[in-house]
Structure formats: C-alpha cells, structure tokens
Amino acid sequence: FFGRSWSTSRAPILRKGVALLAHARRPIRAMPVHVGSAVLVTGDTYEKKAKLIAIGGGHWCKQLNGWIFPEDKREQVVAAMGDDISEEQVSHVVKPSVDANATLLVSRHKKATLVTGETIKVKTQLSLLKGSWNKALTGWIFPAGSKDAVLELLRQDPTNQVEDDFDDAEPVGPAAEAGAEAGAAPA
C-alpha cells in the first residue's frame, strides 16, 4: 500500500469525489411555499393516541409537539378528543383582512365562484376559505355555492372594493343552451 503509485482504478473515485464536492457547492434553491389548512392537536394526548391513530391521515410532529391532521378530518378529531376540548378550541373562524385596500371582482366561472383583482392582499383569507389559485384564470376559484361566504368575508374589511359580477355573468351549460334555443326566433 505505502510504496504504490496511484492506480487507474483509484482515479475515478477521486474524480467522483471532486464532482461530488462541486455538486455540494451549488447554491441552494428556495423551497416552494405552501399555505394550507390543518388541524393541530397539542397537549396531553397520550390517552387518546389510539383513537387519533385510528382516524388516519394524521401524524405526530415532534417540532410542534402535537398531532397534525388534514382539515377534512376536523370533525373526526373533535369526536375522538371528546370532552377534553372546549367549543372555543373547536371553532374555525376565518378572520377578515384589515386595511387590505383591495379591488376585487367576484364572478361566476362555469359552476364555480371566481375572485380576481388584487387578490394578493387577501391571499390568506381566500386560502382559509378553501379557495385555490388558478394560474390560467389569474384568480382564486371556489366550489359552487360559496359565493355568499366569499362576498361576506371580503366585504367585512371596509377598505376593500368588492364588485359582485355574479348575476351579470351568462349561465354556462346545457340549461343555458336550451334557454338560448327557446328564445331564438324561428327562421
């Protein structure tokens, strides 16, 4: 071992080592940010551990010292915790923005509700209302039937200018086509 010169079999290992070092020196890319809604259960949960595991979809987060579940499991988590939690701890109220001064348009898109305009100023509220960003529409899209909740929340901040273009939009779908055909003059 000691008197030997470097062999060709060892050279690739050194080259790989250099390549790995060069790879390690690359700048670190920023991780994408995701803002979501979840249920965090903290406190003395040891006695309820079996029930929480049985719900499924949750996991223990060591950094937060609690269980994290998706928002759609909220009712099951509340039922599993039983009398250990109060009504105050259960409530899930979305707080309106404060001095956002956003100009927004609420309209219909197919069967959904679409919010466009200066949505970045109220992004947190729209996210908590279970909206999702639609890049192609450059706006937030909400499930059908959520128009009233969206309008109510956005109008709670008096600095927001919220226009309701929902009724002015033409209906889309088979019913709209049937209505258009019925109203057409015969040729």
DSSP state string for 67-96: EEEEGGGHHHHHHHHGGGS-HHHH--PPPP
Interval 16-55: pLDDT, tens:
444 444 455 555 566 565 556 788 888 888 888 888 899 9
- pLDDT beyond 70 at 86: no
pLDDT, tens digit (0-9, with 9 covering 90-100), for 94-148: 788 888 899 999 999 999 999 999 999 999 889 888 889 999 999 999 998 889 9
All structural domains of the chain: 38-90 (no CATH), 94-187 (3.30.780)
Query: Is the per-residue pLDDT at 154 higher than 70?
Result: yes
DSSP string, 89-143: HH--PPPPPSS---EEEEEEETTEEEEEESGGGGHHHHHHTT-EEETTTTEEEE-
The pTM assigned to this predicted structure is: 0.47
From residue 46, give the alpha-carbon distance in Å to each of 59, 130, 132: 14, 31, 35
